[in-house]
Structure 1
Amino acid sequence: MTADDLPLRNSFAQLPPAFYTRLIPTPLPAPYFVAASGPAAALVGLDVRELENDDFLALFSGNRVAARSEPLAAVYSGHQFGVWAGQLGDGRAILLGDLATANGPMELQLKGSGKTPYSRMGDGRAVLRSSIREFLCSEAMAALGIPTTRALVLTGSNQPVIRETIETASVVTRMSPSFVRFGSFEHWHSRNKPDELRVLADYVIDNFYPELGTGPERYAKLLREVTQRTAQLIAQWQAVGFMHGVMNTDNMSILGLTLDYGPFGFMEAFDPDHICNHTDSHGRYSYANQPPVGHWNCYALANALLPLIGKVEDAQQALDVYQPAFTKKIDELLHAKLGLATNEEGDRELLDETFKLMQDNHADFTLFFRRLGALQVDAPEHDAPLRDLFIDRAGFDAWAVRYRERLRREHSVDTVRREHMMRTNPKYILRNYLAQVAIERAQNDDFSEVRKLLSVLEHPYDDQPENDAYAALPPDWASHLEVSCSS
């Protein structure tokens, strides 16, 4: 297959011209191939091996336009760190079109493909460092079973890009059924453009929520569905220790997907107040704040959709599903993480005690739950690997007694419970230091670690004993790593 053979459609391009600007990507000088995702390629019927050839390298670096592509940059607005930021838009991303798949359309988008009318003061480029992080985390999250946009191909260039230091340029080819955001609706509401607001809502419903019907109540139903999906998504983030870092309304997907990987992080030493984004000086997007901020963002979406919904009461009723949906999902996930197959009245207290013990001892989030799966109900003498994660050994022992009592009450069988917990609690996550090692090697023209890390993260629940080093506690130097909004 060649790039011109891609059966691209352009459904978003069929919207009125006010929704986007048509433009050609800015070529990337002397592009080179860094990595490609086999699972992502399979979703759109591509052979991952073909993505290394010159034809696709040119396409996915912005150096050529496929025959059926109608490239464009979309406009949107949004709240950033809780403050209205006005018009934003695709400042460094260009949509190539969408491909039909067995599960519906999948849009292809180049991130880092040059200036657009929405770049504001930006250069329209992405740097290799942040592109590697987004590429790896998109695919890692998918492998964890968490709804997310995908990353197909990563290309680079020696073109210099100025951030805090001089770095080099890169392009990530991202995939999603749609890149429409909460901020896409806020944009038209803020400009008092009800006709455009309705056109966008109808486009989203007709293409992605057809089950919502055709009547006027469809807009309240849309808000309800998006609110529920958002609540469930954030519950999944919390359960795996993922922190988005920039939960602005322009980074919230109307499909309930994890969107825009910037200064993200995975929890290591457990601290609910941990802030993964160095730029977030007030901690708005800390781990503990993600659930309420998700709710706040849904309120912003509700306000934008209110002209279509009509009644405040109907919008509020749609929003009211957030907390029950989040509570139900996080309770389900945490029970699974602890290997509990039943529900008891005192389980909330046990969960609270678990996280307090982890917080007091700064226990590693991922290792704790993974090793917990090996606990034997009647053999506390084998607890050492788990117990060693805690400074307060007596505190752990007291907690373990209560946990074992809970397991006995439901007649939990060690082998059965372990099997379920190994499929629930990942062994491998994208720790910051692992990404940093891959980045530093790539900056020296060695992309083998990016590809190796990708292969490990594609199977996060498998033991992979040959890759045990990728599941180890972070080294001391990792505590000094900082990730900010700069990319």
Structure 2
Amino acid sequence: MKWNLQNTYSQLPPRLFTQMNPISVKSPKLLLHNKSLAKSLGLEMNPLDEEKLSQFFSGNVLPNGSKPLAQAYAGHQFGNFTMLGDGRAILLGEQLTEGQNLFDIQLKGSGRTPYSRGGDGRATLKSMLREYLISESMHYLGIPSTRSLAVVSTGETVQREWDNEGAILTRVAKSHIRVGTFEFAHQYLSLEEQKEFTAYVIKRHYPEIQDSNELALDLLKRVMDMQADLIADWMRVGFIHGVMNTDNMSISGETIDYGPCAFMNIYEPKTVFSSIDTMGRYSFGNQPKIAHWNLSRLAISLIPQIDENQEIAIKKAQETLDEFPSIYQQKWNQAIRNKLGLVGEEPNDIALIEDLLNLMHQYKADYTNTFLDIQSGDFSENPLFQSDSFQDWYVNWIRRATRNGQSLEEVQALMSQYNPQYIPRNHKVEEALFQATENNDYGIFNELLHIMETPYQAKENTTAYQFPPIEGDDGYQTFCGT
């Protein structure tokens, strides 16, 4: 294994982290190892060295060059400011690849830190398997995401509502810097230290703006643009993050922290699965608005760096933030045009799109499969497709989709790139996790993972993975790992 760890984060102002080692575990056992990701990172290892891998990915043995640390950050959780930090994670360092790219290598579930609260410290096997499965699925769906390199069981018990098997996930990210990290910096660092941190983030993630005369403002613009892309992608596949606190919004534009996340089956913008989101703050349809709200917290944190004159700084920040809804709307309109195979822009496109979504909502249609049925023209017995309203809509769609000289086959080819044949259906995810954790049977888990590696390609004998359960998602809830 060719570790090439850098430790650039440890060179930042010391209040941003605490240097400490992972806490050793009793008897680590390697359960999952993402070999293709390992290869891309330059971390290939002889598969016969499973014991050595278990020691590395549990934190019992530190790789050469590692200066492990827990990061400090803050966050607005359900709108309330809270002091936070890595309460159960340790950053081993940043792996420098042959392409000269840096990737954080982090152990999640590696023990308590000075930032730990309540149930922090260790992680359950079920929650780590869940993050591995969903984060890798998101990657293969083409959506920026942290990734999962390995899962190791610890041989220890983790207490939640009941005793659980413990595990550690090795998580890979462009970085683990969050909006909440900037909130922490704004609250606790000097202005010079804040500028140092901002310069670091720009050099690492947005080097194209390093020569800007307005570094902080341009950083806000870049993060805003990346988040608009990300949320449009979430909405395209029906993903519901579930806990969009500012500490769960990555500066690099990656999806991060797969706690109570899930995928929407029936199209309903108010869909919420998270057990702690009792008011629907982070519902499917609210995600663009919450992204905008979170970005306003980033803007507030950057105010002292935007301009010495606070009034001018606030004006510039507000003008920038006010652009987000239109930026997002433009990206979303393009995303759903792609889902419908529409080339170019026409004045009636928005009405065509909204009419379909309204019909899907009215007839409680499956979000993923409705687009697939339109794509194939092979309509099921769903009442939506039997309605006069849909048949009128379908004729209008055919006219619009083929008006620019596209054949129907070309329209279908475009749609197939943006409409996944498979998403991690909630009931299959739960079945996979139950069998793995209760029966030590990884058959369904591995099959689902394999299917999700090529989610846009239809496969034989996979019908069970393409439809929601007959009873739907009634009563289905997801939970935070802590």
Contact 1:370 1:425 (8 Å CA) reproduced? yes
Output the amino acid matched with 1:302: A
Match of 1:425 among 419, 430, 443: 419
Q: Which moved more, 1:286-295 or 1:24-33?
A: 24-33
Match of 1:472 among 467, 470, 477: 467
Output the amino acid matched with 1:63: N
Counterpart of 2:41? 44
2:407 pairs with 1:413 = yes
Deviation at 1:477, TM superposition (A): 7.2
CA distance in 2, matches of 1:81, 1:163: 22
| Pairing of 1:74-473 with structure 2 (within 5 A) | 74-85=71-82, 87-101=83-97, 102=99, 104-191=101-188, 193-214=190-211, 216-310=213-307, 311-375=313-377, 383-385=378-380, 388=382, 390=384, 393-443=387-437, 444-473=439-468
SS at match of 1:47: coil
CA distance in 2, matches of 1:49, 1:474: 41
Decide whether aligned partners of structure 1 residues 135 and 184 sit closer, same or farther in structure 2, where only a CA change above 3 A counts. same
Contact 1:34 1:447 (8 Å CA) reproduced? no
* Cα displacement string for residues 104-125 of structure 1 (whole angstroms, at most 9, x for unaligned residues): 1011001111101000223411
Output the amino acid matched with 1:315: A
SS at match of 2:424: coil
SS at match of 1:390: helix
Match of 2:20 among 13, 19, 23: 23
Deviation at 1:246, TM superposition (A): 0.6
Output the amino acid matched with 2:321: L
* Cα displacement string for residues 255-281 of structure 1 (whole angstroms, at most 9, x for unaligned residues): 111111111111101100111212101
Contact 2:123 2:481 (8 Å CA) reproduced? no
Q: Which moved more, 1:46-55 or 1:337-346?
A: 46-55
Counterpart of 1:379? none
TM-score of the two chains, using structure 2 as the length reference? 0.94
Decide whether aligned partners of structure 1 residues 391 and 280 sit closer, same or farther in structure 2, where only a CA change above 3 A counts. farther
* Cα displacement string for residues 243-263 of structure 1 (whole angstroms, at most 9, x for unaligned residues): 111110011101111111111
Contact 1:179 1:253 (8 Å CA) reproduced? yes
CA distance in 2, matches of 1:118, 1:203: 23
* Cα displacement string for residues 384-406 of structure 1 (whole angstroms, at most 9, x for unaligned residues): 33x52638633332322332332
* Cα displacement string for residues 297-333 of structure 1 (whole angstroms, at most 9, x for unaligned residues): 1100000011111122222233233223211211111
Decide whether aligned partners of structure 1 residues 406 and 459 sit closer, same or farther in structure 2, where only a CA change above 3 A counts. same
Deviation at 1:67, TM superposition (A): 2.1
Decide whether aligned partners of structure 1 residues 477 and 369 sit closer, same or farther in structure 2, where only a CA change above 3 A counts. closer
Contact 2:238 2:264 (8 Å CA) reproduced? yes
Q: Which moved more, 1:281-290 or 1:28-37?
A: 28-37
Q: Which moved more, 1:202-211 or 1:349-358?
A: 202-211
Contact 1:41 1:152 (8 Å CA) reproduced? yes
SS at match of 2:153: strand
Contact 2:5 2:93 (8 Å CA) reproduced? yes
RMSD of equivalent CA atoms = 1.9
Contact 1:106 1:177 (8 Å CA) reproduced? yes
Number of aligned positions between the proteins:
475
SS at match of 2:5: coil
Output the amino acid matched with 2:373: R
Deviation at 1:68, TM superposition (A): 1.2
SS at match of 1:479: coil
Decide whether aligned partners of structure 1 residues 235 and 477 sit closer, same or farther in structure 2, where only a CA change above 3 A counts. closer
CA distance in 2, matches of 1:252, 1:419: 33
Deviation at 1:412, TM superposition (A): 3.6
Contact 1:30 1:157 (8 Å CA) reproduced? yes
Deviation at 1:187, TM superposition (A): 0.7
Output the amino acid matched with 1:428: Y
Counterpart of 1:481? 476
Structure 2: unaligned runs, 5 residues or longer: 308-312
Contact 2:108 2:171 (8 Å CA) reproduced? yes
* Cα displacement string for residues 107-151 of structure 1 (whole angstroms, at most 9, x for unaligned residues): 100111110100022341111111111111111111111111111
Output the amino acid matched with 1:453: L
CA distance in 2, matches of 1:261, 1:370: 26
CA distance in 1, matches of 2:108, 2:390: 46
CA distance in 2, matches of 1:397, 1:36: 48
* Cα displacement string for residues 382-432 of structure 1 (whole angstroms, at most 9, x for unaligned residues): x433x5263863333232233233234334412222222112100111121
Output the amino acid matched with 2:299: A
SS at match of 1:290: helix
CA distance in 1, matches of 2:331, 2:48: 38
SS at match of 2:47: helix
Output the amino acid matched with 1:352: E
